[in-house]
């Protein structure tokens, strides 16, 4: 999903910094692809669960390219565990990755955006922020918290900086295709009878960071094929 987002933004002229953790080689491959297409990009090893690293990621982007206009918090990793088996470390991992990391990245990014007089922040949450999921209670809680954080910081950082969220539904990533929900009967149960695609998410992000999204802050866009309606 992050690859699709970065590619879509780069195609529109954005300069990209990829912060990846444990998959630095994939980040470097993505940077090479963007540069080969005439874009500008760089990568950095980025464990967003580390508060100090969040500040370093932002500093790297500013020093390398002279400023920061857009922040997309896309780090995510859901691990299926029943309630009785979730340890404190398991719980903290989900909160650190999906809530603490985005919080401190936004904290580090906001001053640089204010210096430039504008900024766009998009947090990638999930439909599970609304509906929850069996054996993903810690993940669902973290993603719901990210939506709440989005709304609070949209108020705090206005009018110069917009803060929005994208809450995808079932999305046909490689990981999803290998999971238990990737079944024909589930797809057929969706009102639009289609899986979401990474491009659906990427185009939602592009809308929110473009001039078309000028009137949006504190909102969620939900590319979910009708899985959740509200």
**What are the residue numbers of the active site?**
139
Q: Are 162 and 217 in contact (CB under 8 A)?
A: yes
| Cα separations in angstroms, 228 against 25, 130, 154, 167 | 35, 8, 23, 10
β-strand partners of 120: 70, 162
Q: Indicate the burial class of 29 (C-beta count within 10 angstroms; 0-12, 13-18, 19 or more).
A: middle
Tokens of 36: 């080969």
- The angle that helices 101-116 and 137-157 make with each other, rounded to 10 degrees, is 20
Place of tokens 């960071």: 209
């Amino acid at each position: 999903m992050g690859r699709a987002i970065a590619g879509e933004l780069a195609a529109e002229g954005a300069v990209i910094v990829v912060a990846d953790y444990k998959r630095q080689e994939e980040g470097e491959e993505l940077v090479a692809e963007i540069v080969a297409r005439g874009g500008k990009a760089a990568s950095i090893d980025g464990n967003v669960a580390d508060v100090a690293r969040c500040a370093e990621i932002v500093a790297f982007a500013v020093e390398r390219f002279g400023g920061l206009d857009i922040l997309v918090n896309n780090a995510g990793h859901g691990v299926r565990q029943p309630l009785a088996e979730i340890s404190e470390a398991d719980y903290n991992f989900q909160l650190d990755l999906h809530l603490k990391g985005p919080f401190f990245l936004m904290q580090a990014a906001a001053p640089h955006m204010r210096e430039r007089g504008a900024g766009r922040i998009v947090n990638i949450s999930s439909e599970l922020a609304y509906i929850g999921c069996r054996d993903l209670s810690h993940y669902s809680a973290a993603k719901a918290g990210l939506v709440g954080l989005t709304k609070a910081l949209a108020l705090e950082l206005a009018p110069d900086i917009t803060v929005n969220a994208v809450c995808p539904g079932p999305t046909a990533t490689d990981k999803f295709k290998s999971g238990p929900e990737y079944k024909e009967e589930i797809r057929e149960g969706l009102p639009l009878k289609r899986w979401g695609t990474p491009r659906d998410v990427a185009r939602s992000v592009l809308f929110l960071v473009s001039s078309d999204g000028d009137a949006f802050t504190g909102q969620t866009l939900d590319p979910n094929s009708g899985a959740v309606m509200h």
